[in-house]
C-alpha cells in the first residue's frame, strides 16, 4: 500500500479546520484518519481537535455569534442584474465555489475550499478559472461589510446561496474555513476538469478529490446553470433554455435531444437541432459511459433524487 503523506498540522490551520469539520460531521474518527490520507501522527491531532469540539471552543463560539444570515441576505441581494449574462450572477458564484474547492487532492491534502488561494497567481490565472474574477469582485463589498468572514467561507457560502435562490436544494453549509496568505500556497494548475476529455479523465480528477462515480454525475448537474463564453472557456452557449433555474433539465436534455458536432472555428462541442443549446464532450460522457449512464438517467427521471444527491455531493465538495 502507498505510504500516507506526512503533514505539519501546527503550521497548516486549514488542515486543522478541515479535520475539525470532518469530525463534527462524523465523516472520520481519530482511529481512521491514517486510512483516509491524513498521515502519521494524525490520530493524536484528531484527539486534540475532538477535545476542541467537546469543549465547544475553536471556531464554534465565533460561528454562533456571527450573523451568517446577514451575509446570505447580502449575497442574495447581489444576484439579479439584467445587464449580466442571463440576468443573474448566481451561476458564476456557483462556479466560484466549485472551482475553489475542486483543486483538493486526497494524496497530499493540498488545495480545496480552505485557503481561497484563487486570490493569488498562478491559480487566479489558471485558464479553467477565466471569468471568475467577476464573481470574486462581486463579493468584495460583502467581504468589506463583513470582515469577520473568511474569503473561503464567503465563496462557498455564496455558491450555496445562489443554488438555493435559483430554485435548487438547500445546502448544509458549515463555516470554519481559513484563508491562506500567499501565492506559495496555491495548488498546482491543471487540477480542474478539462471539458474536452473523456470519462477516464473525469474519474482521474474526481477520484483525486475522493469523490465517487455517482457524485461525478450529480455535480455535473450544475451545468443546468449558466452558459459557456468564448472569451473564457472557448466554448459557447447554454446547456438549457432556463439557465438561471436549478432543475434536472440538464439531464433531460442530455437524453431527449439529438446532439451533433457543431461546425465552427471553436473547440469540439455539440449542438441541438435548433442550434441554441450545447453540450461539451464531458457532458455526453455521462450518457455514454456504462457506469455514469444509470445515474444520469435516474436524475432525468426524478428531480427530487437529483436534488438530494446534488446537495450531499456539493456539501462534500465544499468541505474538501
* Enzyme catalytic residues: 99, 239
Give the other-Cβ count within 10 Å of 265's Cβ. Answer: 5
**CA nearest 44: which of 56, 60, 33?**
33
DSSP at 182 = S
Helix, strand counts (H, E) of the chain: 13, 5
Residues 65/148, Cβ–Cβ less than 8 Å: no
What DSSP assignment string belongs to 9-72?
GGG-HHHHHHHHHHHHTTS--GGGGGGGT--TTHHHHHHHHHHHHHHT-TTHHHHHHS-HHHHH
Report CA dihedral (258, 263, 266, 267) to the nearest 10 degrees. Answer: 50
Long-range CB pairs of 8-16 (<8 Å, 24+ gap) are 9/41, 9/42, 9/45, 13/178, 14/112, 14/114, 14/115, 14/152, 14/177, 14/178, 14/180, 15/109, 15/114, 16/45, 16/49
Using CA atoms, how far apart are residues 196 and 117, in angstroms rounded to an integer? 25
Q: How many residues are there in the chain?
A: 320
CA distance 6 to 109: 10
Cα 190 to chain centroid, rounded: 15
d(CA 244, CA 85): 10
Rounded Cα distance, 269 and 235, in Å: 7
Amino acid at each position: 500500500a502507498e505510504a500516507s503523506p506526512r503533514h505539519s498540522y501546527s503550521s497548516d490551520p486549514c488542515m486543522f479546520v478541515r479535520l475539525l469539520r470532518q469530525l463534527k460531521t462524523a465523516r472520520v474518527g481519530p482511529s481512521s484518519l491514517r486510512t483516509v490520507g491524513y498521515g502519521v501522527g494524525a490520530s493524536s491531532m484528531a484527539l486534540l481537535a475532538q477535545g476542541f469540539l467537546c469543549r465547544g471552543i475553536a471556531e464554534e463560539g465565533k460561528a454562533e455569534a456571527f450573523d451568517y444570515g446577514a451575509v446570505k441576505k447580502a449575497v442574495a441581494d447581489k444576484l439579479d442584474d439584467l445587464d449580466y449574462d442571463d440576468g443573474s450572477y448566481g451561476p458564476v458564484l456557483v462556479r466560484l465555489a466549485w472551482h475553489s474547492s475542486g483543486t483538493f487532492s486526497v494524496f497530499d491534502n493540498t488545495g480545496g475550499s480552505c485557503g481561497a488561494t484563487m486570490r493569488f497567481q498562478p491559480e487566479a490565472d489558471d485558464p479553467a478559472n477565466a471569468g471568475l474574477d467577476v464573481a470574486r469582485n462581486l463579493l468584495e463589498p460583502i467581504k468589506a461589510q463583513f470582515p469577520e468572514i473568511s474569503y473561503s467561507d464567503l465563496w462557498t457560502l455564496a455558491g450555496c446561496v445562489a443554488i438555493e435562490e435559483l430554485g435548487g436544494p438547500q445546502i448544509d453549509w458549515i463555516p470554519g474555513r481559513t484563508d491562506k496568505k500567499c501565492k506559495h500556497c496555491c495548488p498546482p494548475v491543471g487540477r480542474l476538469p478539462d471539458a474536452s476529455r473523456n470519462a477516464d479523465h473525469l474519474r482521474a480528477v474526481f477520484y483525486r478529490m475522493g469523490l465517487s462515480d455517482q457524485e461525478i454525475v450529480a455535480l455535473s448537474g450544475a451545468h443546468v446553470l449558466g452558459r459557456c463564453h468564448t472569451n473564457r472557456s472557448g466554448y459557447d452557449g447554454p446547456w438549457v433554455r432556463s439557465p438561471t433555474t436549478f432543475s434536472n433539465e440538464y439531464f433531460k436534455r442530455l437524453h431527449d435531444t439529438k446532439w451533433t458536432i457543431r461546425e465552427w472555428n471553436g473547440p469540439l462541442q455539440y449542438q441541438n437541432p435548433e442550434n441554441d443549446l450545447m453540450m461539451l464532450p464531458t457532458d455526453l460522457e455521462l450518457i455514454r459511459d456504462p457506469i455514469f449512464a444509470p445515474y444520469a438517467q435516474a436524475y432525468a427521471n426524478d428531480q427530487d433524487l437529483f436534488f438530494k444527491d446534488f446537495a450531499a455531493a456539493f456539501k462534500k465538495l465544499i468541505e474538501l
